[in-house]
Structure 1
Amino acid sequence: MNDTRKTALIVGASRTLGLGLAAEYLRRDWDVIGTVRGSRRTGLHDLAEESGGRLTIESLEMTDPDQISALRDRLSQRTLDLLFVNAAITRGDLPIGEVPTDMFTEVMVTNALSPMRAVETLGPLVAPTGTIGVMSSSQGSIALNTEGRQDLYRASKSALNQLMRSYAARSAEDSRTLLLMDPGWVRTGLGGPEADLSVEESVPGVAETMERHAGKPGLHFVDHQGQVVPW
């Protein structure tokens, strides 16, 4: 490990955008810690084998608070320059009145509560000059919701944004940068095949936007092109 190299912890790095970000930060000569769920081999394992020791893998089920705490303990001797939390699920496009309670709970826990638990628990590992980022979406913007649809997913991302704003308000004296990142409409399992961007087109912009905002304290809701996303 190079003591002068920056370190990123990417939570949810096994595939698509998370995996792309891990690869991007390796290209930018960072050390990367990436988390995966369970023990199944993923693309992150292939990337780790090619990284010359610069990528290490940690197991984490983010919906389990005890596992988040255990990860913090395992990394207690590391200082992070970037903590980025990447997690989202969708369960189809139902009007909110038709969403079963268990589905509502699952999506809200995965998309809003668990990422914020990760921020709260792992945030102390981030250097005072570092960045804490969370993958959000323009679908979490209330101002941009002019078409409806995807009620539950939109609500979960709006909740995430609100919770991150509360975190920022409670941490008003914090010198770290806080980011809600909209990666654009990306061709992933969640974004679907008709989306505008490939992972390879979105990820460099996400990383570059985070780099440009480094050292700017406070909370910023921005997209992969560096544009401000309205709340």
Structure 2
Amino acid sequence: MAPFEKNAFIVGASRGLGLGLVEAFLKRGWRVTATQRKPSPDLARLKADTLRVETVEIDDDASVAALHTRLVSERFDLIFVVAGVATQAHDPLHAVPRAVAAQVYLTNAVSPIRFIETFLDRLKPGGSLALMSSILGSVSLNEAGGWETYRASKAALNTLARSFEIRHRAEAVSVLVLHPGWVRTEMGGEEADIDVATSVMGLADVISTRLGEPGAHYIDYRGETLPW
């Protein structure tokens, strides 16, 4: 690997924003390791010598541990956990089965933090850990309500990200908590403000600018800081 070449790890890249981020970083000359839960035709169509595809279930500790072992020789400038779910996001909390609400919390908040904890030793000095959050995770900006279980899961992710950074503050760890905008994906819907290309280009710019910056930073795809 050339000394100037950077290495990204995109977790949850089978479609949507994750897939778009893989394409964006490949175009910027980065090496990319991308993960999928099951074989992704869209990811398989990306042909690049600098792309490696792995399969992992982030809600399964054994699956994550096995991936950690398979990537024993890799070191990353960026580890970005994109994976998330929005099951029954439009239903109020009391209408969502307890098991569904619990799974949304586990996948969106618990699993990403456990993942970066496991892979922290694979982060290069001067690199960043990134987590895909949402502006809906901002408690202070919640003036419209709705998306209750999804909002709560992203607020939990934000809180856990800050606690993670505090726990590792002596190591000057960099944690970027990112809002991609309201994007026209399967999750965001056709009425969303921006397309995937706009979002991932902005996110890649923000990451490149803030790479390695110590602390926990809650930022949108335009580089604007959001209130927790």
Task: Verify same fold: TM over 0.5.
Answer: yes
Letter in 2 for 1:112: A
Pick one of 159, 167, 172 that aligns with 1:170. 167
Kept after mapping to 1: 8 A contact 2:26/2:50: yes
SS at match of 1:23: helix
Task: Give, in whole Å, the separation in 2 of the partners of 1:91 and 1:130.
Answer: 32
Q: Say which SS state the counterpart of residue 206 (structure 1) adopts.
A: helix
State yes or no: 1:43 paired with 2:42: yes
* Number of the residue aligned with 2:151: 154
Q: CA deviation at 1:95?
A: 1.4
Assess if the C-alpha contact under 8 Å between 1:205 and 1:225 holds in 2: yes
CA contact (8 A) 2:77 2:128 kept: yes
TM-score, structure 2 normalization: 0.96
Q: Is the CA contact 2:165–2:173 (under 8 Å) kept in the aligned structure 1?
A: no
Gap runs ≥5 in structure 2:
none
Q: Distance in 2 between matches of 1:87 and 1:33?
A: 14
Partner amino acid, structure 2, of 1:9:
F
CA, structure 1 residues 214+41, in 2 after alignment: closer, same or farther (shift >3 Å)?
closer
The CA distance in 2 between the partners of 1:227 and 1:123, in whole Å, is 26
Shift of 1:3: 4.9
Paired residues for 1:106-185 under 5 Å: 106-185=103-182
2:52 is matched with which residue: 53, 56, 63?
56
Percent identical among aligned pairs is: 41
Deviation at 1:45, TM superposition (A): 1.1
Match of 2:171, SS state, is: coil
1:122 Cα deviation after fit: 1.1
Residue identity matched to 2:57: E
Amino acid corresponding to residue 206 of structure 2 in structure 1: T
Given that residues 15 and 42 in structure 1 are in contact (C-alpha distance below 8 angstroms), is that contact kept between their aligned partners in structure 2?
no
What is the identity, as a one-letter code, of the residue corresponding to 2:82?
N
Cα contact 1:128–1:174 (8 A) shared by 2: no
Distance 1:113 1:154 in 2: 14
Q: Is the 8 A contact 1:10 1:22 kept in 2?
A: yes
Answer yes or no: is 1:189 the counterpart of 2:152: no
Alpha-carbon distance, 1:77 to partner: 1.0
1:19 paired to 2:14: no
Provide the secondary structure at the position in 1 that maps to 2:117. Answer: helix
Cα shift readout 1:200-228 (whole Å, capped 9, x = no counterpart): 11100001001111131111000000000
Partner of 1:71: 67
Q: CA deviation at 1:2?
A: 3.8
Alpha-carbon contact 1:129-1:175 (below 8 Å) kept? no
Paired amino acid for 1:6: K
Please state whether the residue corresponding to 2:156 is helix, strand or coil: helix
- Structure 1 unaligned segments of length 5 or more: list them: none
Shift of 1:172: 1.0
Tell me if structure 1 keeps the 8 A contact 2:13–2:83. no
- SS at 1:173's partner residue? helix
CA contact (8 A) 1:24 1:207 kept: yes
1:50-86 deviation digits (Å, cap 9, x = unpaired): x1x1001001111111111111111111111000000
Counterpart Cα distance in 1 of 2:212 and 2:115: 21
